[in-house]
Amino acid sequence: MNENELLVEVKDLKVQFDVRDGIVRAVDGATFEIRRGHTLGIIGESGCGKSVTAKAIMQMVPKPGKIVGGEVLYHRRLKSNGSDVTEIINVTKLDPDGALIRQIRGGEIGMIFQEPMSSLTPVYTAGSHIGEAVGLHRLIPIRKVGTQMVETIRAQRHVTKEEAREIAVDMLRRVGMPKPEERVDSYPHQLSGGQRQRVMIAIALSCEPVMLIADEPTTALDVSIEAQILDIMRELQDTVDMAIMFITHNLAVIAEMAEEICVMYMGKIVERADVVKVFFKPQHPYTRELLKSIPHVGKKSRERLASIKGMVPDPFNLPSGCVFHPRCPDYMPGKCDRIAPGWTEVEEGHWASCLLYEDV
Amino acid sequence: MIAYLVRRLGYALIMLVLTSFVSFLIIDLPPGDFMDQRLAELAERGDRSAELRIAEYRARYGLDQPLLTRYWIWASNFVKGDFGDSFQWERPVKDVLGERLQMTIVLALAATAVTWIVAIPIGVYSAVNQYSLGDQVLTTIAFIGMGMPNFLLALLILFFAVVILGQDISGLFSREFRDAAWSLAKVWDLLKHLWIPAIIASVTGSAGLVRIMRANLLDTLGQPFVEAARARGLKSRTVIWKHAVRIAINPLVVIFGSEHLPGIVNRNMLLALILNLPTIGPVFIQALLVQDSYMAGTCLVFLVILTLLGNLLADICLVWLDPRIRLE
Amino acid sequence: MAVNELPETTERAEKRISQSYWALVWWRFKRSRAAIGGAVIVFLSYFMGALFAEFFSPYLVNQQSDYVEARPQWPHFVDQEGNFHLRPFVYGLEEEIDLELFKRTYAVDTSRQYPIYFFVRGEPYKSLGLIPMDIHLFGTDPNDPEAHVFVFGTDGLGRDVFSRIIYGARLSLVLGLVGQALTLIFGVTLGAISGYYGGGVDMLIQRATEFLQAFPREPILMALAAIIPPTWNPMWIYFGLTIILAFVYWGGLARQVRGLVLSIREREFVLAAQSFGASGRRLLFRHLIPNTMSHIIVIATTMVPGMIQSEAFLGFLGLGLRPPLTSWGVLMNEVSNVRAIRFHPWLLFPVPFILISLLGFNMLGDGLRDAMDPYGAR
C-alpha cells in the first residue's frame, strides 16, 4: 500500500450561489489532494469558502448553491475477494439524493460540524443517533460454511438493534465519554458541549469511514475541552488510519493537527504547503499577514496589534485582477489589479497563487 | 411534572366556576326573560289563562327568584350532573344535549382528521419546495382559505348544492336513518353526509395549519442538525420526516390543542345551523336567542370546558413530545 | 498601499443602504404584488363604500320599488337580433305568478330594453353628509319612470341589492375601523402597562385577559350582542356593538403588546434612556410604544377582518345591527334560511363582496408584516 496514496482529489472546483442580489462565487477554482491516513488543514477567515468546499466534497452544497465547474474525485477502495480494487468516483456528477452518494456520506466519508449544540436532533438520544448511522452503513460479514470445503463467502447483513446499541456504547467509550452505558440514552440537551462533540465524533467514526471532514469542530468549545477533543481525534486517526480534512480559522489548532495546509481567501486557495513551510516560510502575502496578526506574548505593549489592512470585499463586487490586491502590502500597481494570478509551484510541494512568482 | 399538572387543573377549575357565573349573568342580562316571549305568543292566540300558566312556569323554574339564588341552585345541581331543564324543549338539558354531544364529537374529530391529513403534507411539500410553482399556488390557496369565514363558505356551497345541483345536503342522516338504531348502513349514511361539513369546517383550520407548518419547517430545515443528518447519508425523505418534521410539528400540536380543537366546535356553530346538523351549535344559538337560560348556560360552560381541556391537552402533548421540556 | 477602486455599486443597492426605516418598509412593500393588491382592495372598499356609497349606487339604500324579490338584470351589449349596442342595456322584468308556490316571480322581458347611462341623475342625496348631489355613477334614463336596473336583483321590499351591498360596506367597514381603534386604545395601553411595570399590575391585567380568553369568542359575542335591546336607537346599537367587539378583542391584543414590550424592555436603548433619568411614562410613550408600532400596525390590520366577520355573523343571526340600519350582517340575515337560498339566491351576492374585502385586509396585513420585518429573508 502506497504511503501517500490519493484519497480525494479536488480539481479546480467552482461553486456558485445564485442569490437575489447577484452571483456569489463561494469557491473559485480550488485544487488540492487528500491522501489516505493524512491530515489536510484548510484555513481562512469566515466566509472564505472553506465550509462550502467541504460540503461540495460530500455533494451537499445547499441551495441556492451549485457546483458549476471542476471535479471532486474520490478514490474508493472496494474489497472484493481479497484484491483491492480502486474505483474513482466523480462526486460532482452524482445525484445528490442518490444511493451511491448516500452510501459514501457517513459510511465512507464522515463529517462533523461546528455547533455540537445544534447538530444533534433534540428528540433523539445519543445512542439512537449512532444506531441510526450504524444501521445504515455498518455491514457485518456473514460466514457461511460450504459443503465441500470451508469456504468463507463474503455476504453481508445490517446490524441488529442490540448490536447497534453495543457498538454505540463502545464508540462512546472510545471517544472518552464518561459512563458510556448511561450516556448512550441521554438527550443532547443533557450533555455538555464537549460531550456532544464527542458524540458527533462517535457517530462519524462508528461507521469506520476512510476520511473525516471536520468543519470547525472545536470553535464553539472551551480551550480545555478543545484540547481533549483534538487529542481524541488524533488518537482515533492513528488507530483507524483515517484521513482528516480539518477546517478552521484558528491558526494554533491547525498547526497542531494538520500535516499539509491550504490557505483560502475569498473562495480561492492562495497557498498550499506542508505545515512547517506555511508557518516558517509563507510565500503568499495574505498568509504572511495572517501570521503577523497573531499577537505575541512578551512583545512591548506600546506596539499596535497587527492586522490586515482594509476589509473583506463585497462578494458582489470583487476587486479586479487579484482578489487580495486592495489589502496587499506587496501590491504592484498595473499588474495586481489587472491580472488574476495563477498557481505557481514556488518550491517542491509548495504552491502559491501570487503574481510575485509569475513573470508578467 | 405532577405538581405542575395539579396546579393547572386547580387553576382550570377556578376559571370554570368564574366563567360559569359570568356566563349565567350574561345570559340573564337581556331585559325580560324567556317567559315573556311565550306570554306574547300565547296572548296573541287569545289564550286568557296564559298569564296564570306563565306564573306557574315561572315558579316552577325559579324564574321569579334573584339571580344569585338561581345560579347557586343551578351550579350545585350542575356538579351532580343535573343541568336543569330547558324551557324551550321542556326536557332536561342533559337529554337534549346528550344526543347531540355524540355528533358534535364526531364532527369535530372528522374535521380534525381532515385538517391534519390535508394540511401537514401540503405544508411539508411547500417548505421543501420553497418558491416553486407548487408552493406559490398552494400558499395562495391557503391564504385565501384562511380569510374565509366558515359560514360564508357554507352558504356558497349550500347555494351550489341546492340551486345548481338540486341536492339536499343538510343534516347528517337521511330520513330513514335518523332515528334508526346504529348499524353499518347507518354509519355509511353518516359518512356520506359528514364529508361536506367536515371539509367546510376544516378549511380555515387547514389553511392556517399549512402556513404554520411551512414556516416552522422552513426554520427547522435551516438548523444545523438537519444538515448533519444529511451528512450521515440519510435519504432526503428520512431527513425531512424523521428529523425535521418531527421537531417542527411540536408547536403545531400546541396550537392545535389550544386553538383549533375548541375553534372547530366554536366557529362551526353557524355552519351547523345552516346545514341543520344535530350538534350542540344550533341548540346553543337558539337558546341564546330566546333566553333559555339553563340550556344556554350549560352549553357555554361546556364550551369553556372544551377550551380549557384543549389547552391542558396541548400542554401535556408538548411535554410528551419534547424531551427538552419533559425532563426539567 | 493603493486604494482599490470598487466598481460602481448599482444604484439600487446604494439607495438601499442609506434609507430610513419607513422608506425601506415602503420599498419592500411595493415589491409584493399581493400587498399592493390588498391595499388597492381596501382603499377601493372604503372609497366606494364608506365615503361615496351614494354616488356608486344606482339607488338609495332604503329605496323601495314594486319589483319585490326580482331576479338580477344582467347588462347586455348585444340584443336579441344580434345588434351591438355601445351602451349596455338591461331587459325589463315581467311579472308572473307562480301558481305552484303562490309567489310573484319575474321573467326577462326582451321587448323592453333599458339603456344604462353613466353619471346619470337619480335620487338626490348628500355626499359625505354635506354636499347635496344627485349624480349616480350609473342608472337608467331618469326621464323614464319604468326603467330600472337591478344588477343583483331586489330583496323582500323591492330594494336594489347592489346598492344595499355598497351601503352595507359603509357600516361594516367603518365598524371594523372604529372597533379596531377602540380595541387598540385599550389593548395597547393595558398591554404596555402590563409589560412595562410588571408586578401586581401585570398579574391583574394578565388574569383578566386570561379570563376573557377562556370564553369561546363566537358564543360570547352572541351572548353579549343579545343583550342590546332591539328597541334602542340605531346609533346606540352601533356604538354598543363597537364596544362589545372591543371588549372581546382587546385581550388578545394586550397579550401580544405585553410580549413585545417585555422583549424590548431589556434592550440597551431603554437602559440608556433610563440612565439619564427618563420617567416611566415618558419611556412608555416616547420609546417603548413607538418601537412596537410596526408590530401593532400589522396586528391591527389583521384584526379588522375579524371584526367585519363578527358583525356579519351576528347580523346573520339577527343580533347586532338590525334594520333600518344596513350593514353586511343585516344583508346576511336575509339569507339565513334555505328557502331564501333556493328561491332568491341573488340575495347571496353580499358574500363575495365580504370575502373580497376580508381577503384584501389579509393581503394588506401580510404585506405589511413582511415589509416591516427587518430580518425577513425575502
Is A1-108+210-319's fold the same as A119-206's?
A: yes
DSSP assignment letter at B48: T
Q: Report pLDDT for C9.
A: 44
Coil, helix or strand for B274? helix
Predicted confidence (pLDDT) at residue B297 exceeds the cutoff of 90: no
Instruction: Answer whether A240's CB lies under 8 Å from A10's CB.
Output: no
Task: Say whether the peptide bond before residue C324 is cis (omega within 30 degrees of 0).
Answer: yes
C-alpha A254/C-alpha A264 separation (Å) is: 13
Instruction: Answer whether C165's CB lies under 8 Å from C331's CB.
Output: yes
C-alpha A203/C-alpha B284 separation (Å) is: 59
Under-50 pLDDT residues of chain A: 1, 147-153
Coil, helix or strand for B85? strand
Q: Report pLDDT for B327.
A: 55
Does the beta-carbon distance from A102 to B235 stay under 8 Å? yes
pLDDT band at C230 (very low <50, low <70, confident <90, very high): confident
Residue C156 amino acid letter: G
C-alpha C358/C-alpha B152 separation (Å) is: 12
ipTM associated with this complex: 0.82
Does the beta-carbon distance from C227 to B307 stay under 8 Å? no
Across B82-96, C101-115, C346-360, the highest mean pLDDT is recorded for C346-360
pLDDT in tens, B29-70: 776 666 676 666 666 776 666 667 667 766 666 666 777 877
10 Å CB burial of residue A167 (0-12, 13-18, 19+) is buried
- Diameter of chain B measured on Cα atoms: 88
Number of C-beta neighbours around residue A27 at 10 A: 32
Nearest-5° Cα angle at A279, A275 to A285: 120
C-alpha A228/C-alpha A225 separation (Å) is: 5
Task: Say whether the peptide bond before residue A295 is cis (omega within 30 degrees of 0).
Answer: no
Cell 359625505, residue located = C128
Which is more confident, A108 or B304? Answer: A108
Does the beta-carbon distance from A123 to B225 stay under 8 Å? no
Q: Report pLDDT for A154.
A: 53
| Least Cα separation, residue C304 to chain B (angstroms) | 11
How high does pLDDT run on average in chain B? 80
Residue B99 parent element (H or E): helix B93-128
Q: Report pLDDT for A97.
A: 87
Task: Give me the helix-helix angle, C217-227 and C289-316, nearest 10°.
Answer: 70
C-alpha B201/C-alpha A270 separation (Å) is: 63
Pairs of CB atoms within 8 A across A/C: 29
State how far the alpha carbon of A232 is from the alpha carbons of A180, A218, B241, in Å: 16, 12, 33
- pTM for the whole thing? 0.79
Q: Report pLDDT for C4.
A: 39
C-alpha A290/C-alpha A283 separation (Å) is: 12
Does the beta-carbon distance from A317 to C7 stay under 8 Å? yes
Mutate to test the interface with B, among C152, C218, C248 (most CBs of B within 10 A): C218
The three grid cell numbers given for residue A269, joined into one nine-digit string: 486557495
Cell 425601506, residue located = C24
Ranges A101-115, B174-188, C117-131: which has the least confidence: B174-188
How high does pLDDT run on average in chain C? 81
Q: Report pLDDT for C6.
A: 43
Does the beta-carbon distance from C6 to A314 stay under 8 Å? yes
CATH 1.10.3720.10 is held by the domain C164-372: yes
CB < 8 Å to B127, chain A: none
CB < 8 Å to C7, chain A: 317, 320
DSSP assignment letter at A115: -
Chain A touched by B53 (CB under 8 Å):
no
The three grid cell numbers given for residue B135, joined into one nine-digit string: 408552493
pLDDT in tens, C163-198: 999 999 999 999 999 999 999 998 888 888 888 777
Predicted confidence (pLDDT) at residue C134 exceeds the cutoff of 50: yes
In chain C, % of residues over pLDDT 70: 88
Coil, helix or strand for A112? strand
Sheet hosting strand A39-43, strand order edge to edge: A109-112, A211-215, A243-248, A39-43, A260-265, A268-274, A350-352, A344-347
Q: Report pLDDT for C278.
A: 67
Which chains, if any, share at least 3 CB pairs under 8 A with chain A? B, C
Predicted confidence (pLDDT) at residue C355 exceeds the cutoff of 60: yes
**Mean pLDDT computed over B179-184:** 74
Assigned CATH class of A1-108+210-319: alpha beta
Does the beta-carbon distance from A105 to B229 stay under 8 Å? no
CB < 8 Å to B23, chain C: 215, 223
**CB-based contacts of A140: which residues, under 8 Å, 6+ apart?**
A156, A157, A158, A159, A163
| Least Cα separation, residue C6 to chain A (angstroms) | 7
CB < 8 Å to A337, chain C: 2, 4
Q: What residues of chain A, 284 to 323, have a C-beta less than 8 Å from chain C?
A: 309-310, 313-314, 316-317, 319-320
Reported in sequence order, the residue ranges of chain A that DSSP labels E, i.e. its strands, are 6-19, 22-35, 39-43, 65-80, 83-90, 109-112, 139-142, 155-158, 211-215, 243-248, 260-265, 268-274, 344-347, 350-352
Give the start-to-end residue ranges of the domains of chain A.
1-108+210-319, 119-206
Give the residue on A whose Cα is nearest the Cα of C378: A20
Does the beta-carbon distance from A317 to C6 stay under 8 Å? yes
The three grid cell numbers given for residue B238, joined into one nine-digit string: 428520512
Q: What residues of chain C, 345 to 374, have a C-beta less than 8 Å from chain B?
A: 345, 348, 351, 354-355, 358-359, 361-363, 366
Residue B309 parent element (H or E): helix B293-321
pLDDT band at B292 (very low <50, low <70, confident <90, very high): confident
**Sequence-separated contacts (24+) of B64-70 with Cβ below 8 Å:** B67/B24, B67/B25, B67/B28, B70/B24, B70/B293
What region does C208 belong to: left with phi over 0, alpha with psi -120 to 50, or beta? alpha
10 Å CB burial of residue C342 (0-12, 13-18, 19+) is middle
Sheet hosting strand A6-19, strand order edge to edge: A22-35, A6-19, A65-80, A83-90
Does the beta-carbon distance from C3 to A326 stay under 8 Å? yes
C-alpha C22/C-alpha B321 separation (Å) is: 42
Give backbone dihedrals phi and psi of A2, rounded to 5 degrees, phi first: -65, 130
Which chains, if any, share at least 3 CB pairs under 8 A with chain B? A, C
Does the beta-carbon distance from A331 to C1 stay under 8 Å? yes
Ranges A80-84, A314-318, B255-259, C105-109: which has the least confidence: A80-84
The three grid cell numbers given for residue B152, joined into one nine-digit string: 360564508
Give the start-to-end residue ranges of the domains of chain C.
58-159, 164-372
Cell 491558526, residue located = A251
Coil, helix or strand for B73? helix
Give the residue on C whose Cα is nearest the Cα of A316: C9
Length, in residues, of chain C = 378
| Rg, C-alpha atoms of chain B | 24
Residue C264 amino acid letter: I
Please give, one letter per residue, the 3-state secondary structure of C305-342: HHHHHHHHHHHHCCCCCCCCCCCHHHHHHCCCCHHHHH
| Topology annotation, domain A119-206 | Rossmann fold (3.40.50)
Reported in sequence order, the residue ranges of chain B that DSSP labels E, i.e. its strands, are 85-86, 91-92
Ranges A83-92, C52-61, C277-286: which has the least confidence: C277-286
> According to DSSP H, which parts of C156-198 are helical?
161-197
Length, in residues, of chain A = 360
Our CA dihedral for A94, A99, A101, A102, rounded to 10 degrees, sits at: 150
Of C1, C4, C7, the CB nearest to A329: C1
CB < 8 Å to C1, chain A: 309-310, 326-329, 331
Does the beta-carbon distance from C9 to A337 stay under 8 Å? no
CB < 8 Å to B228, chain A: 111, 113, 119-120, 200
Of A58, A121, A133, the CB nearest to B225: A121
Question: Which candidate, A334, C303, C310, places its Cα nearest to that of B152?
Answer: C310
